[in-house]
Structure 1
Amino acid sequence: MTAPLVEVRDLTKTFDVSAPWLNRVIERRPRQWVHAVDGVGFEIPKGQTLALVGESGCGKSTVARLLVGLHAPTRGEVRIDGQPLHATLVTPQGQALRRRLQMIFQDPYASLNPRWTVADIVGEPLLEHGLLTGRAALRERAAELLTQVGLAGADLDRFPHQFSGGQRQRVSIARALATSPEFLVCDEPTSALDVSVQAQVLNLMKDLQRERGLTYLFISHNLAVVRHVSDRVGVMYLGRLVEVADKRTLFAQPRHPYTRMLLDAIPDIRMSGRARTPVQGEVPDALNPPAGCAFNPRCPHANARCRAERPVLTEVDGVRVACHAVEERRI
C-alpha cells in the first residue's frame, strides 16, 4: 500500500454556542458546546481519493477546514507527509507546507471575488507565496493554468459574473493548482452545478489527479459522485466516522445500518427488486446527542448495549466499522 500523505488521529473540534454571558446569568443557563467533529481518524495514501459522505450537519465541512488549517482542532492531530499540520503552520516552515495543500470550495458563486479579474484571482496564490513576480510572468502562468482546466488564456481579463457555474468552478480549480499542491480538499465542489456540468468538472479533477499525482479528500452527500471519484469512502454521522471501507466493498456490502440506509435511499433505476429500507427518523440534536451509539434512535438493530455504550471504530472483515450489531454478528 502506498505510504499515507495525510494522517488524521483522534481529530476533534468543539464549538462554543452558548448564549451571551449576561443572558446566561439572568436565565441561569449553562454554557453549551457542539462536538462538530468527535474523534475522527483516517489515512489517505498518496495519489488516492478518500470521500467523506453523510447527511447535512454531520461534520464533513468542519473536517475539511481542519485539514487545511482554517480551524484549529480542539484535540487530535493532522499530519501531512509526517509533519504536524497545525504546529508547523505557525513556524517559518508553515508557508512551504501551506503551498502543498489547497481547498476547492462548495459554491463557485461565493468563493470568487466579484471585483477581481480572473488574472487577479488565479495569480493571487502566486503572489502570496512569492512564486512569481512581475505582471507579465503572472499573466503567463495564469493563462497556462486556465488552459489546463479547459478555459482559454483570453479569459484572463473577464470577471466571475461573466462565466457560467461550471466555468467558475474551473477558475477555482485553476486557483487551487497555482501553487502546485499535492493535497486538495474538495468541499462538495459540484453540488451547486447542473448534473451535466458536474460530470465535466469531476472528469477534469480525475484527469488532473492522474497527470499530477494529486491526493484528494472529497466531501459530498451525493453517493453517485462518490462512487465515480473515490478509492475509499468514510461515512460520517453526527461528528463521528461510522464506517470506512474500499469503495467497491462499501457499495456492494455495506456493514453499518446507517450506510445501508443511505444506499437504500438511492433510486433503484435497474428495478432489481432488492428489499430496501428508506431512511427513517431525523438526525438528533447535536447539542443533546443520545447516549450510547448516536444512531440508535433510528437503527432497527439497536439493543440495550447500543443505547448505553458508544461503539468504537474497529476492523471487522477488512472494514472499519463502529457498530455493536456488526461486531456481535447480529447483522
Structure 2
Amino acid sequence: MTALVQACDLRRVFDVSKPWLNRVIERTPREYLTAVDRVSFEIKRGETFALVGESGSGKSTVARMVVGLLPPSAGDVSIDGVSMSDPRQAAARKALRRRIQMIFQDPYASLNPRLRVDDIIAEPIRAFDLITGAREIRSRVGELLRLVGLHPDDGVKFPHQFSGGQRQRIAIARALASEADFIVCDEPTSALDVSVQAQILNLMRDLQDRLGLTYLFISHNLAVVRHMADRIGVMYLGRIVELADGRELFSHPRMPYTRMLLGAVPDLAMSGRARIAVSGEIPNPIDPPRGCTFHPRCPDVFDLCRREVPLLIDGVACHAVNRPAP
C-alpha cells in the first residue's frame, strides 16, 4: 500500500514576544514557542493515522500544516507527491486542493449560521466547478445528505435547527462534496455527547470503507482512537514519542508517557493490567526542560534523560526503552 501523505521533519515556531516597546522598557529578549519539533510520519491510502496526546502537545498545529493552513518553519508535507509548501508546485497544489478537506472540532462554529444547509454543502461543488446547473447541484446535495444519515428535505433548514451530532453530519457531507479522498479530522467528536460520538465514528468508518477515504485523526481520547486508528503517533510537547500499529500500542505500550495515557482509560474488561498514574502537567513550551521533555513526570527517569533529547528509534523516543542492556 503506497503512502498518500508524507510528513518529513515538520517544525513550527511561533514568535510569542511582547511588543517592541515593552521589551525595550523591561529589557527582555524575544520569546519563541516551538509548537512542533521534527515530526515525521506517513499515511497510507485508505488507512486512518491518529495523533494523540494531551492538550498543548501540538496535534492541531500538525493538522493545519498538513492541509496547508499553516506554513511549516522547517520540513515539508507532500500529498500524493505534491509539496504543500514548495512555491514551484503551486499549480499542482491548486489542483490537489479539491481532494483535501477538514472536519473541525466544533460543529456549532464550523458551519455558517446565515446559510441554509443545501448552500453549505453545495459551496465546495460550486467552488471547484464540479457540477453545473441548479437542479443537478440540488440532486447531488440530496445524495450527500442521505449518505450521512439525513433527509434531503433537511437542506432547506439552517444549522441552528439541528443538534450537535446532526451538524457534524452536515460538516462531513460538506467535506465529501468536493469528492475528497483525504480528510483531516481535528477532534471531530470531542464536543458531542458520548452516545452521539459513537454514531459519528461509525458513520466515518462506514464512509471510509465505501469511498476509500484516508483519515488523519486528531484526538486526546484514546478510547476513540482505539475504535478508529490503524496506526497511532503519540505526541508530547511538540514531538512524536511513540509510533506504532494501533493494536500493538494498546496491548504493549513501550513509552512511559503512553502507558500513563492508557492508565487513564477505564479498564472495562477488568484485565488487571499495570497502570501508571497520571501525574504532573505539560511543562511551559516556551521554556521546556532540557533533555527529554517528559523527564520531570517520568517514573523511569535517569541521568541521560536530563541531558539529551531522545531520538525516535524503532518507534520509541525514550532513553529508558532504547538504552542497551547491561
Normalised TM-score (structure 2): 0.97
The answer for the alignment partner of 1:142 in structure 2 is 141
* Contact 1:89/1:95, CA 8 A, preserved across alignment: no
Counterpart amino acid of residue 53 in structure 1: V
The answer for the alignment partner of 1:276 in structure 2 is 275
Q: Secondary structure at the match of 1:217?
A: strand
Counterpart amino acid of residue 245 in structure 1: A
Q: Over residues 133-156 of structure 1, what are the superposed CA-to-partner deviations in whole Å (9 max), with x where a residue is unaligned?
A: 332222111111111111111011
The answer for the alignment partner of 1:198 in structure 2 is 197
The answer for the alignment partner of 2:286 in structure 1 is 287
The answer for the alignment partner of 1:133 in structure 2 is 132
The answer for the alignment partner of 2:48 in structure 1 is 49
The answer for the alignment partner of 2:37 in structure 1 is 38
Q: Aligned to 2:316, which of 290, 309, 321?
A: 321
Gapped regions of structure 2 (runs ≥ 5): none
Aligned counterparts, 1:197-236, within 5 A: 197-236=196-235
- Verify: 1:178 aligned to 2:177, yes or no: yes
CA shift at 1:243, angstroms?
0.2
- Provide runs of 4+ in structure 1 moved above 4 Å: none
**Paired-residue identity, %:** 62
CA distance in 2, matches of 1:5, 1:227: 22
CA shift at 1:88, angstroms?
6.1
CA shift at 1:94, angstroms?
2.6
CA distance in 2, matches of 1:185, 1:272: 34
- Cα 1:286–1:180 change in 2 (3 A) is same
* Contact 1:95/1:129, CA 8 A, preserved across alignment: no
* Contact 1:89/1:98, CA 8 A, preserved across alignment: no
Counterpart amino acid of residue 266 in structure 2: P
CA shift at 1:131, angstroms?
1.5
* Contact 1:88/1:94, CA 8 A, preserved across alignment: no
CA distance in 2, matches of 1:94, 1:147: 31
- Cα 1:42–1:193 change in 2 (3 A) is same
CA distance in 2, matches of 1:277, 1:299: 10
- Cα 1:89–1:68 change in 2 (3 A) is farther
CA shift at 1:328, angstroms?
1.3
Q: Secondary structure at the match of 1:236?
A: strand
CA distance in 2, matches of 1:90, 1:174: 29
CA shift at 1:280, angstroms?
1.1
The answer for the alignment partner of 1:258 in structure 2 is 257
* Contact 2:82/2:92, CA 8 A, preserved across alignment: no
* Contact 1:3/1:46, CA 8 A, preserved across alignment: yes
Counterpart amino acid of residue 175 in structure 1: R
Gapped regions of structure 1 (runs ≥ 5): none
* Contact 1:50/1:216, CA 8 A, preserved across alignment: yes
